[in-house]
Amino acid sequence: MEKESEVGMSKSLISELNKLSGDIFEVIKHNKGSYVHRRGDCAKHIYRIDHGTIRICNINKDGKEFIVKDLTAGEWFGLIGCFGSGKRPNDAIATNDAIVSRIEFKNILELLNINPPLYLSCCNQLAYYAEHYYNLAESAVFESLYDRTLMMLRQLCLWQKTQEVKITQKELAGLLGVTKEAVGIQLNKLKSNGLVKLGYGCIEICDR
């Protein structure tokens, strides 16, 4: 199975999607804090980020946020809702001013019908999503929060392509599904062990 080091679409699927005519895309500008879609919305489109950052997350009734991934320009999202229940499983929020192109799912189905091998790419992609979320659930049971925090920081290094990741403790807590206070304790342990350096709105990883 072709995999990426992030919660995004495989390169083969992206390559085919990027060949689609620009005439079938609708370009939408989103201001910082605006929703591309909300959890529970009807899933009729998939999306490509042309500029800015879109956060895939869920926020419960108490305001606690679980962050799945911050997606940036060139990345696609929206596949799970379209192929799954027909409803969006999460929120997609612009974390800064963004431009997003969207395409109706029916056009994707037409592409698949004339290019059957792409069905396999879609199946592989959905299987990867399932594996990714299973691994998150498994690590929450078997791994200590200390180890999970360090693993997440290493993953963020890959996503952001830097040793000094731009993230707040609140956002890191959202990615791990725990409280800010719990993350703060683990970061101080990592700092004491010489594995990270803490800054304002950033964390430098020293063990890679």
* Residue 7 CB partners (closer than 8 Å, separation 6+): 56, 68, 69, 129, 132
Helix (H, G, I), strand (E, B) or coil at 111: helix
Q: 156: closest CA among 137, 175, 141? A: 175
Measured from the Cβ of residue 43, the count of other Cβ atoms closer than 10 Å reads 20
Distances (CA, A) of 116 to 21, 86, 111, 122, 181: 19, 22, 8, 10, 49
Amino acid at 5: S
Report field, pTM of the whole predicted structure over 0.75: no
Each domain of the chain, given as residue ranges in start order, spans: 11-126, 143-205
Q: What is the residue whose two structure tokens read 């605006």? A: 34
Beta strands 76-77 and 45-51 are antiparallel
Q: Which residues of the chain have pLDDT under 50?
A: 1-7
With contact defined as beta carbons under 8 Å apart, do 88 and 62 qualify? no
Residue 93 phi, psi dihedral angles, 5° rounding: -125, 135
For domain 143-205, which architecture applies?
Answer: Orthogonal Bundle (1.10)
The confidence score (pLDDT) of residue 11 equals 65
The confidence score (pLDDT) of residue 38 equals 94
Assign domain 11-126 to a CATH class.
mainly beta
Tell me 116's DSSP state: T
With contact defined as beta carbons under 8 Å apart, do 204 and 153 qualify? no
The confidence score (pLDDT) of residue 208 equals 56
How far is residue 159's CA from residue 157's CA, in Å, rounded to a whole number? 6
Amino acid at 112: L
Query: Biggest alpha carbon distance in the chain?
Result: 57
